[in-house]
Copies of this chain bind each other. A is one copy, B any other.
Amino acid sequence: MTVRPEESLDPESWDEFRSHSHQVVDELFDWLRTVRERPVWQPVPEEVRAALRRPLPVEGRGLEASWDEFRRSVLPYPWGNVHPRFWGWVNGIGSPSGALAELATAIINTNAGGGHQAAPYVEEQVIDWCKTMVGFPSDASGVLVTGGSVANLVALAAARDAGDPRICEEGLVALGGSPVLYASAQTHNSVDKAARLLGLGQRALRSVPVDPEFRIDLQALERAIAGDRAAGRRPFCVVGNAGTVNTGAIDDLAALAELCKRERLWFHVDGAFGALAALSDRLRPLVAGMERADSIAFDLHKWLHMPYDVGCVLVRDREAHRRPFATKASYLAREARGAAPNDHDPGTLGPELSREFRGLKVWMLLQEHGVAKYARLIEQNVEQAKYLAELVREHAELEVMAPVPLNVVCLRYVGKKGEGRRGKGEELDALNREVLIRIQERGIAVPSATSLNGRFAIRVAITNHRSRLDDFDLFVAAIADLGRELSAPV
């Protein structure tokens, strides 16, 4: 038996590694400290994209060379979501101490999929704190996942199998009975993805119309349920929204809780960002009823700004949560002593097994800042949304396109009233699409787009602890300038 001189991935010189690490720590935190001085976003140039089409490196180029590549090809071209004027889609922006917590996570590099170690206890603690944050009972079950999409998947799997506990053993085909679930037309596409993945099919998801405030139409929902029952199908779940992605609309969650109780349906709340409005005494009434749900999905990397990625799903019924996921495996046998998995076993509560210790950053940052501060930051964003909406309403050339119940403002350029609007319908859509793209291309701000009642909307979703009122003044002026510039006669 001959074994070559053994090698490892540890540095040959720890001293050199140490000085490299100090240098990149300074460089990276300086980059973050000065983010406001740079454009929010810039396109990835073709030469950089070409540099990202190289063959697999056979021989290593060393630590410095790999960091140089990072400085050249990656660091200048982020999505922009750490910048104070990034308000696209719904993104959190992280924080400096969050990044340090991630360094700790990667150095201890624990596999948090189970086992007797600190990680599962820390994550149980975080999950208990999550229950407190959204008003769930302390004996509920929960697990940390990568984000709202997987959280919705886990909750809907539990709902599916609670509807008929034989499904996970015998499968949907054997059992028949056409299970159906309901959600408003404004619901996030992860619910569509879950319906497809779970074998229910896209058609099993009824897309229920919304009222003028983009909330689920309760009467239409009741009619749909009655219709499906009459047709011999089997309604099993209603998804309520605590903050839709398009407009931040919040369904009447108390009414949905009541309806689900009456109809004996699983009540799931997708609260990706909106659930955390419950942290604020002032905003909590908006999400009243959420605490009566059978399950809640929400992100911690959005409105709590934990570094990507971490989300949470809570399920009231512990057994229902475990049912789709708990399988036996000889190599995962539990033991009362030693390093083996014990009762704290996240692998039985979601699709993952081996995974990052993603609860550590949440645990450290909630201790550092306290939840009262996060509540203030959420209120700050909601107030900023109201401020922006007011600026837009008062502006002669802009209009607000939807109510602003929370932190999302949909707006567009329409031209001066009284001077004849700058086009209608598709023309106005095209104009606003170009306004949006240019404001991104000029690095001024990154809002995103959506479609409301068939019309193109510039959408500002404020989940950003770095935004200041001035940023919205600047943004509104830039939108109006661009609108004028683009609609001027050539």
Contact = CB atoms under 8 A, between A and B. Distances in A.
Contact of A338 (B33, B160, B436): B436
Given A55-B132, A79-B119, A356-B308, A331 B367 contact: no
- By size class, the interface of chain A is 35 or more
Interface string A455-467: 0000100000110
A199 B198 CA distance: 5
Contacts of A73: 118, 122
Interface in A287-305: 299, 301-302, 305
Contacts of A307: 105-106, 109, 356
Nearest to A152: B351
A364 B67 contact: yes
B309 A356 contact: yes
A56 B448 CA distance: 34
A147 B146 CA distance: 12
Contact of A103 (B52, B62, B106, B204): B106
Max chain B CB contacts within 10 Å: which of A7, A98, A351? A351
Given A62-B368, A102-B102, A52 B125 contact: yes
A329 B188 CA distance: 8
A6 B178 contact: no
Stoichiometry, copies per complex: 2
A88 to B, nearest CB: 6
A65 B433 CA distance: 48
Interface in A1-16: 1, 3-4, 6-11, 14
A373 B43 CA distance: 35
A230 B257 CA distance: 48
A273 to B, nearest CB: 10
A141 interface: no
B383 A1 contact: yes
A175 B89 CA distance: 36
Interface stretch (A21-29, A221-229, A258-266): A21-29
A142 interface: no
A487 interface: no
A149 interface: yes
A371 interface: yes
Interface in A72-122: 73-82, 88-112, 115-119, 121-122
B198 A197 contact: yes
Contact of A339 (B79, B189, B333): B79
A169 B7 contact: no
B1 A14 contact: no
Interface stretch (A209-217, A320-328, A398-406): A320-328
A18 interface: yes
A440 to B, nearest CB: 4
Nearest to A302: B354
Given A333-B451, A368-B62, A3 B380 contact: yes
A179 B189 contact: no
A159 interface: no
A477 interface: no
Interface in A337-381: 337-340, 351-357, 360, 364-373, 376-377, 380
A26 B107 CA distance: 12
A265 to B, nearest CB: 18
A391 B279 CA distance: 59
Given A150-B351, A339-B440, A355-B147, A24 B200 contact: no
A10 B83 CA distance: 12
Contacts of A354: 90-91, 147-149, 299, 301-302, 308-309
Residue picked from A11, A96, A174, most chain B C-beta under 10 Å: A96
Contacts of A199: 160, 167, 171-172, 198-200
B104 A355 contact: no
Contacts of A167: 199, 201
Given A9-B97, A21-B96, 7 more contacts: A3-B383, A6-B380, A79-B117, A99-B103, A147-B353, A246-B330, A337-B441
15 contacts: A1-B387, A18-B29, A43-B337, A52-B124, A56-B132, A60-B368, A75-B108, A89-B111, A171-B202, A171-B203, A171-B204, A172-B201, A196-B325, A308-B354, A333-B449
